[in-house]
Chains A and B, each alone.
Chain A
Amino acid sequence: MADHRERRRRLSRALHHVTFVVGCLITLALLATAAISVIYTPRDPLEMSIAARLQGPSAAHPLGTDQFGRDILSRVMQGAITSILVGVIAVGIGMAVGGAFGIVSGYFGGWLDETFMRLVDAIQGFPAILSALLLTAVFKPTLTISMVAIGVAFLPVFARLTRASFLEFRDRDFVLAARALGAGDRALIGRHILPNTLPPLIVQATISFPVAILAEAGLSYLGLGTQPPNPSWGLMLKEAQGFLSLNPWYAIFPGGAIALTVLGLNLLGDGLRDVLDPKTASS
């Protein structure tokens, strides 16, 4: 009953929180665009038309066309899928691998903790762009490489968060009681401690998601991520740079899509944090 009332209070607080509501609306628009573009785009995003190349916005092409006469609106719509996909997978990689590092460090402690934390310090020296450069030099540039590079860049923050939570919980009474009743390490980690460490990890995931989208756009812009002819916002900007004076709209819309998406996700993350933890809301 009390739980139910608390949930209703939170929902009402959320619905009156401007940041949260605006963030929600933008994020829903992004998800809806991505979902719709799976089955429908105004035109085929790969269909070329030399006669209609580098046009500004018009009734036939609301966001104009690119250097091959492809419809920018359709390509921006499909670019949303790439961004969401990379965001989810990269954050998933950072969370899973970083989380595993944090568990080993925080639960077992000692030299294992010291070694893993130095390794995490080392990984912090590799922002997504640096890992992507190295991996691309050895393998071919692909979307997978960019997902791995971005995921690796997220690893330290998830490792540190998980470690901190494990350090906090491993000596709590309920864990000691479970151990005294004969629970093994696996049960203690998986059933007793891990569920308690999830809330900060989920908040961090919402913060990391827009960062992943920015990173993917940057890598695709450098040619280290999504490869032509597949639509990606970063890749579109790379192509648009060559035609800035001929069709400036070409550079404006994909960049605007990135900025709007990241803004929406950031607002949603900020709002969510305020709603879940009103103590931090004032600052």
Chain B
Amino acid sequence: MQRYVVRRVAALAVTLFFVSLLIFVVVRVLPGDPALIILGLEASPETVARVRHALGLDQPIPVQYARWVGQALRGDLGRSIQYDLPVGTLILSRLAVTLPLTLLAAGFMIVAAIPLGVFAATRHRRWGDYLTMTLSQLGVAVPGFWAGLLLILLFSVRLGWVQSGGFDGWGAGLWPGLRSLLLPAIALGLFQFAVLARTTRSALLEVLREEYVKTARAKGVAERAVLFRHALRNALIPIVTVAGIQLGQLLAGSIILESVFYLPGLGRLTLAAISARDLPVVQGVVLFVASMIVTVNAAVDILYGLLDPRIRYG
């Protein structure tokens, strides 16, 4: 068991090295001078030389990479040109919006999808099943940002119940903060909700065909107990795996939804940084989000191994 975890963690370290390398190659090695990207083409050669020196771009490429990664490992992601603040500080301040949004969407996804998937599986090939599957087909087809626009159109423009976007900060209280994130979280979680509902349904259907479920039924175990104690518990493994992987997707998806609802999170920070040619911020956010996704994926993999010994020894 311990060996399996150690092996997975070592693989994660190699994967994170590749993540950093890919970002570095795009920013520093591909054609395009970061100093010129930051200053614009009209900058004087002296200014360009000064910025190149300040960013360490006059050093050999391997030295530049080692320096960048070394600093990142110590939590130093560079300094924002636009805000003149450490990139790490900026990311942390914007995470106060992005992280609750992602978690709220994940909560919505899990709370709505698993019961619906169970409902569909227990009514296999009946109206309840067809209705659920139609809903989930729609959920997969509707882009999250369009769902966001439709929610704004209904609840803000037509009914006037909520404001169409913006975030007053957590200082205004927990409820006002949560209220601003509610519609974006629903729009963000819609796609993943549909996927998870379908996963739950098919995982449960598969388990319900197993011999031990038939045995339990034959022994006269109540249908409720068969469903929840015998079937769902075993179907949870693929459900947990898919839900875990979806967390990373939700984090990336929040970048678009923040734009729809004007939320000051990581996504809007990055888009503003692109307009302001603030390369260290873009590089820092991309490194942070990609590392988070890869780490969550590896954690799900390890969890999967812990839950199912066949994976560990396979």
A residues apposed to B, CB below 8 Å: 118-119, 121-127, 129-130, 133-139, 210, 214, 217-218, 221-223, 234, 237, 240-241, 244-245, 248, 251-252, 255, 258-260, 262-263, 266-267, 282-283
Contact = CB atoms under 8 A, between A and B. Distances in A.
A262 B252 contact: no
A129 B141 CA distance: 18
B141 A125 contact: no
Contacts of B143: 214, 217-218, 234, 255, 258-259, 262
B131 interface: no
A10 B174 CA distance: 58
Contacts of B255: 129-130, 133, 222
Contact of B145 (A123, A137, A218, A244): A218
B249 interface: yes
B140 A262 contact: yes
Contacts of A282: 205
Contacts of B249: 127
Interface in B20-36: 21-23, 26-27, 30, 32, 34
Given A136-B274, A263-B137, A118 B18 contact: yes
A244 B153 contact: yes
Contact of A124 (B152, B157, B293): B293
Nearest to B33: A138
Given A139-B32, A266-B140, A126 B149 contact: no
Contacts of A139: 32
Contact of B15 (A122, A134, A244, A259): A122
Nearest to B14: A118
B221 to A, nearest CB: 23
B293 A133 contact: no
Given A122-B19, A124-B293, A137-B274, 13 more contacts: A125-B297, A137-B283, A138-B27, A221-B145, A221-B259, A222-B256, A222-B259, A234-B145, A240-B149, A244-B164, A259-B138, A263-B138, A266-B140
B146 interface: yes
Contacts of A218: 143-145, 256
B251 to A, nearest CB: 9
Nearest to A121: B15
B64 interface: no
A121 B252 contact: no
Contacts of B270: 133
Contacts of A135: 26
Interface stretch (B76-84, B226-234, B284-292): B284-292
Given A138-B26, A138-B27, A258-B143, A244 B149 contact: yes
Contacts of B32: 138-139
Contact of A266 (B141, B273, B283): B141
Given A118-B14, A258-B143, A283-B205, A125 B26 contact: no
Interface residues of B, number: 60
22 contacts: A118-B18, A121-B11, A124-B294, A126-B286, A129-B252, A129-B255, A130-B289, A133-B285, A134-B23, A134-B286, A136-B274, A139-B32, A217-B145, A218-B144, A222-B256, A223-B271, A240-B149, A251-B150, A255-B143, A255-B149, A259-B138, A282-B205
**A210, A234, A252, A259 — most chain B CB neighbours (10 Å):** A259
Contacts of B183: none
Contacts of A245: 157
Given A124-B294, A283-B202, A267 B137 contact: yes
B37 interface: yes
B253 interface: yes
Given A125-B291, A126-B290, A136-B274, A244 B26 contact: no
A234 B157 CA distance: 21
Contacts of A244: 149, 152-153, 157, 164
A237 B145 contact: yes
A251 B273 contact: no
B141 A259 contact: yes
B142 interface: yes
Contacts of B290: 122, 125-126, 130
Nearest to A211: B140
A282 B32 CA distance: 53
Interface string B226-254: 00000000000000000000001100110
Interface string B248-279: 11001101100110000000001101100101
Nearest to B32: A138
Contact of A248 (B18, B23, B157): B157
B308 interface: no
Interface string B129-172: 00000000110111111100110110001000000100000000
By Cβ-Cβ distance, the 8 closest A-B pairs, closest first, are A122-B18, A255-B146, A125-B290, A263-B141, A125-B294, A137-B282, A127-B252, A262-B141
